[in-house]
Chains A and B, each alone.
Chain A
Amino acid sequence: SQQGEEDPQALSIQEGENATMNCSYKTSINNLQWYRQNSGRGLVHLILIRSNEREKHSGRLRVTLDTSKKSSSLLITASRAADTASYFCATGLETSGSRLTFGEGTQLTVNP
């Protein structure tokens, strides 16, 4: 079964607005990653947060991790039409950080 569950399944916003996606997981983790997938393409790594970190930033991306609630959120600020894609969280097991389990993804649409 999928380790991660993402919320919402789909999100539609206007350009310039912020987009927030959430991910919950079930077991103890070593790390949590976010990936982007444009339609018909492979996944591209966005950002990684380790289990001992609470917040991380990269450009317009902000990721938080709450290990007590087993949840993470990805915030994309000042969204652009080019941010339209599916976003997946992936968790690395505590025992094997390299083996990832993916959530079902959030489909983000940014309208110009």
Chain B
Amino acid sequence: NAGVTQTPKFQVLKTGQSMTLQCAQDMNHEYMSWYRQDPGMGLRLIHYSVGAGITDQGEVPNGYNVSRSTTEDFPLRLLSAAPSQTSVYFCASQRAGGTYEQYFGPGTRLTVT
């Protein structure tokens, strides 16, 4: 199994541009989440999904959209990039049923100029 994969690994955007960060998992996990990690800080939850067609906001959702049309994929869209969105973005998945362990992708390092 590839686990959780994220693309791209690095991205530079200009202010105002939009883009989609891709996340896919092949473990048939019901739960998926997006986090951002700023320098010297822990992870903050952006959006999460408990299954296909179901999404909800996390701690810092503004400026981001998500959708979950399949179990495998959970893309994160930046609508109009701002320098404050410069960060490392991590996608994670988790099996339903009370185990609570999350599996993380390798991250996407995004710079907005």
Chain A residues within 8 Å of B, Cβ to Cβ: 2, 4, 30-31, 33, 35, 40-45, 48, 88, 90, 92, 97-105
Contact = CB atoms under 8 A, between A and B. Distances in A.
A19 to B, nearest CB: 19
Say which size band chain B's interface belongs to: 20 to 34
Given A43-B90, A98-B94, A99-B48, A88 B103 contact: no
A contact face: mostly helix, strand, loop, or mixed? strand
A64 B92 CA distance: 25
Contacts of A30: 100
B44 interface: yes
A45 B43 contact: no
Given A98-B31, A98-B94, A99-B48, A43 B100 contact: no
Nearest to B99: A48
Interface string B36-52: 00001111110010100
Interface in B28-81: 31, 33, 35, 40-45, 48, 50, 58-59
